[in-house]
Amino acid sequence: MTGTYVATSTITINAPAQRVWSVITDREAIKEFMFGTEVVTDWQVGSPIVWRGVWEGKEYEDKGLILEFEPGRRLVNTHFSPLSGQEDLPENYHTLTWTLEGEGDTTQLTLSQDNNASVEEAEHSKGMWDSLVGGVKAIAERD
């Protein structure tokens, strides 16, 4: 599946970066903005991260590793989903990069996913991430 296309979704959130960070790393908030997903991790660099849930009627358990963890600024993790139909090989993993750039009560959140095999695959991923970052925005601005 090795690909060079990157899916990127960016949104401006009317909340401080620390608030947005707390949303993207809180298990209950993650469950809300990631379509009911349960996340398991200790958020330490090098530690595993697992997402469990049901998508379109199928149970799944996605996995990855935490690569970077800079509170309030940047979270980078790998991601593999068996639902992709691909083998569990390093070349079939994506890297998800969450970047927060904030000034005062406004934060720009960017989520990018690398290793998409085609423009169409990147666009499909972008659509999903657009929905997800929209959910982060709604939670961060609500509370």
pTM of the predicted structure, to 2 decimals: 0.91
**Taking the mean position of all CA atoms in its chain, how far away is CA 39?**
11
C-alpha to C-alpha distance for 117 and 125, rounded to whole angstroms: 11
- End-to-end CA separation in angstroms for the chain: 40
* CATH of residue 104: 3.30.530.20
Number of domains composing the chain: 1
pLDDT at res. 2: 58
Note the helical H segments in 17-63.
17-24, 27-33
pLDDT tens, 84-103? 889 999 999 999 999 999 88
pLDDT tens, 2-45? 578 999 999 999 999 999 999 999 999 999 999 899 999 999 99
Mean pLDDT of the chain: 94
- Tell me the residue range of the domain where 123 lies: 5-142
Dihedrals phi, psi of 34, to nearest 5 degrees: -110, 35
The CA R_g of the chain, rounded to the nearest whole Å, is: 15
Rounded to 10°, the helix 17-24/119-142 angle is 110
C-alpha to C-alpha distance for 87 and 114, rounded to whole angstroms: 17
